[in-house]
Amino acid sequence: MVTKVLLTLLVLLIAYVYLKRRALLSQRSRQQSTGDHAVVNRTGRGQKRDPIKVIAVLFLLLSFVLTLSFFIYRWVDDHRLLKVTLISSPSSEPLYYQVYKADMQERSFTTTHGQIIRLGAQDRLQIETLKD
């Protein structure tokens, strides 16, 4: 997932550099063809901004913020501590474990102490979120 995001950002960066270079070359060729050797205002003051550039930059910023917030949410959610109660039919009393949400699998889980528990066909689980 991270590689997809990084690859997308790399493609966008390459496209931005290519378009910026192409615009700079066309501006230079226009100056040479008219014979105008005036100094180009590089500060951007007094020039009208292109609305497409502003929209593109805002879109990139928005996508970056949304991607970052998604990764932060997933990390926080995966590190949520759960109380797992294992009720097995052969034993009469339940067993209690603390597990991070990211360590829960379909038929097994890893406790916070590193113990791997595999579930049988007759086992039941009760999962509760521990209060932080």
Interval 68-126: pLDDT, tens: 999 999 999 999 999 999 998 777 789 999 999 999 999 999 999 999 999 988 889 99
Question: Do 7 and 72 share a domain, yes or no?
Answer: yes
Pseudo-torsion of CA 95, 96, 100, 101, nearest 10°? 70
What single-letter DSSP state applies at residue 92? S
In this prediction the pTM is 0.56
- CA neighbor of 104 nearest in space, from 78, 68, 75: 78
Question: Do 118 and 55 share a domain, yes or no?
Answer: no
Question: Do 53 and 65 share a domain, yes or no?
Answer: yes
Q: Could you give the percent of the chain with pLDDT greater than 70?
A: 86
| Residue that finishes a domain, picked among 78, 95, 118 | 78
91 residue type, one letter: S
Range of the domain at 115: 81-129
Q: Are 73 and 49 in contact (CB under 8 A)?
A: no
Bridge partners of 118, per DSSP, are 108
Question: Do 18 and 74 share a domain, yes or no?
Answer: yes
Question: Do 40 and 67 share a domain, yes or no?
Answer: yes
Query: What does the alpha-carbon distance between residue 50 and residue 100 come to, in Å, rounded to a whole number?
Result: 49
Bridge partners of 95, per DSSP, are 86
- Kindly tell me the sign of the dihedral angle through the C-alpha atoms of 65, 67, 72, 76: positive
Question: Do 74 and 115 share a domain, yes or no?
Answer: no
Question: Do 22 and 45 share a domain, yes or no?
Answer: yes
Structural domains in the chain (count): 2
